[in-house]
Amino acid sequence: MTSDAAPDDTVTLARGYVRTTGSLSRRMILIAAAWIALLLSGGGFALDRVLTAAITRNFDDQLEYVLTALITTAEIGPEGEVIFNREPADQRFLEPYSGLYWQVSGTRREPFPSRSLWDRTLRYGAPHDDRAVHAYDSAQFADEKLRVVERDVTLPGSRVRWRFQVAQNRAGLDEQIKVLRRTLVRSFLLLGLGLIVMAGLQTFYGLWPLRRVREEIARMRAGKSRQVEEAMPVEVAPLVEELNGLIAHNERQAEEARRHAGNLAHALKTPLTVIMNAATAGSDDLAETVVREARTMRRQVDHHLARARAVGRRGSAHSRADVWPSLESVERAVARLYRHVRIDVTGPRDLQVHVERQDLDEMLGNLIENAAKYGGGSVFVTVSAQAGFVEFLIEDDGMGIPGEERTRIFDRGVRLDTGKPGTGLGMGITRDVAEIYGGTIALEESEDLGGLLVRLRLPAAN
């Protein structure tokens, strides 16, 4: 089973595994489709209500016109009945079951219907007062639905409250509403489909630069280019810029690693050659030669390891360290080693630097220990914020360093005072680590104490 699973594991390790949360294009299109459907449904419903009400109101207005004509031509006859001085002009009132009807009804009076009602009458006697025109739907006839408008009127010369009614079959009105709704549904479906297609095209075109970025990365993996060179939209340009910066950063780290490996190999080659020559020649001082050259190799290894650690930790975007706790820690450690030395530290207590705490401790430790070791008994440390940097001034009251020697002191293994213990790597490591983090270090003369002043500047994190 182990041999069967190995190829899959190899492919997984080679290609990597990326967790996904679904398609971004599909998600954008679904959101757009849902929003379009919601808006079109709401808009279609509202438009349907408005247009249906308008068609129905127009239908009612026609019936109300006939109702008003009936009322204006109505009179009271000799026996108290309602008569018309002018018959309605529409011939459908004369045709039985034509779908257009009128009727006049009064309290304790027989209804007076149009001939089109034939043997039927409109329902009358609802307990409401129709002084104004009242319109409603009626299903009193089984074979047809009616739209009825009615009004109660008291005619001159009569104390009876007469109800005038005009009714028409709803089939024509319902057909108009049906056609309207069918047109609305088809139009809105076509509109929704067009909007969704447009959203899909917009998503495809909008995300196209991301596909171009993927293709450019594939070209870089294939060795055809070193960075994303194609012009990108404004929204994608910052991403591409950060990606190119990351690639350049990785290349610099790889180049530094290769250079460090070459430097270390070159630095170790000479001591190893000396040892091999001494061993081959059977020198009497072989032991001293091995010990001396081994110390040299150890110094070189320590230097390059410290630099490699700083280079590796520099890649963290979250690298930050509080200045004051680091100063206090180093001050306590140095004070225990050099009890005769007075160390004074001053400055703001809330400063931070974009440096790993371990590297900050190492740099400050080297500088403050050197000031205590080679000074006359007083060390003064001042920390301050300076335009995006945190500046450390380490001063002592020693003999100082001549101007012509201040550059050479940073070379690996150089010691100006060989009477005191040390490897000569502290200042070189401190300079290299400071430069890796984008800082600087300079040697000057202390005006207050008269000895050496070391000016260390590191990028501020606050």
pLDDT tens digits, residue range 440-461?
A: 999 988 888 888 999 999 999 8
**35-49, 68-82, 384-398 — which is least confidently predicted?**
68-82
pLDDT at 4 over 70: no
Q: What is the pLDDT of residue 16?
A: 52
* pLDDT tier, 429 (very low <50, low <70, confident <90, very high otherwise): confident
pLDDT at 426 over 80: no
Report which residue type is found at 261: A
* pLDDT tier, 416 (very low <50, low <70, confident <90, very high otherwise): very low
Q: Starting at the edge strand that comes first in sequence, how are the strands of the sheet with 112-113 ordered?
A: 112-113, 100-106, 161-169, 144-154, 134-141
Q: Residue 108 to residues 81, 95, 124, 150, 162: CA-CA distances in angstroms?
A: 12, 28, 12, 18, 10
Question: Using one digit for the tens of pLDDT, what is the confidence trace for 349-370?
Answer: 999 999 888 889 989 998 999 8
pLDDT at 1 over 50: no
pLDDT at 311 over 80: no
* pLDDT tier, 12 (very low <50, low <70, confident <90, very high otherwise): very low
pLDDT at 307 over 70: no
* pLDDT tier, 309 (very low <50, low <70, confident <90, very high otherwise): low
* pLDDT tier, 39 (very low <50, low <70, confident <90, very high otherwise): very high
Q: What is the pLDDT of residue 17?
A: 58
**87-91, 244-248, 252-256 — which is least confidently predicted?**
252-256
Question: Residues near 384 by Cβ (< 8 Å), separated by ≥ 6?
Answer: 347, 348, 390, 391, 393
What are the residues facing 144 on neighbouring strands? 141
The top-scoring range by mean pLDDT among 183-187, 219-223, 405-409 is 183-187
Question: Using one digit for the tens of pLDDT, what is the confidence trace for 341-350?
Answer: 999 999 999 9
* pLDDT tier, 303 (very low <50, low <70, confident <90, very high otherwise): low
- Which of these, 265, 263, 294, lies nearest to 432 by C-alpha position? 263
**Cβ 258 vs Cβ 265: under 8 Å:** no
Question: Using one digit for the tens of pLDDT, what is the confidence trace for 400-415?
Answer: 887 777 777 766 544 4
CA 208 – CA 203 distance, rounded (Å): 8
95-106 mean pLDDT: 91
The top-scoring range by mean pLDDT among 12-26, 152-166, 402-416 is 152-166
* pLDDT tier, 290 (very low <50, low <70, confident <90, very high otherwise): confident
Q: Of 186 and 222, which is predicted with more confidence?
A: 186
Q: Of 212 and 131, which is predicted with more confidence?
A: 212
Q: What is the pLDDT of residue 2?
A: 42
When the pLDDT of each residue in the chain is averaged and rounded to a whole number, the result is: 83
* pLDDT tier, 203 (very low <50, low <70, confident <90, very high otherwise): confident
Q: What percent of the chain has pLDDT over 90?
A: 36
pLDDT at 95 over 80: yes
Query: Helical H runs in 120-207?
Result: 171-206
Q: What is the pLDDT of residue 11?
A: 40
**24-33, 112-121, 127-136, 160-169 — which is least confidently predicted?**
127-136
Please report, for the chain, the start and end positions of each structural domain, with discontinuous segments joined by +.
22-206, 250-313, 319-459
Q: What is the pLDDT of residue 185?
A: 94
76-86 mean pLDDT: 83
**215-229, 235-249, 259-273, 321-335 — which is least confidently predicted?**
259-273
pLDDT at 100 over 90: yes
The model's pTM is: 0.52
Q: Of 340 and 409, which is predicted with more confidence?
A: 340
Q: Residue 29 to residues 35, 284, 314: CA-CA distances in angstroms?
A: 10, 84, 42
Phi first, then psi: give them for residue 138, nearest 5 degrees.
-135, 140
pLDDT at 5 over 70: no
Q: Is CATH 3.30.565.10 the classification given to domain 319-459? A: yes
CA 130 – CA 63 distance, rounded (Å): 16
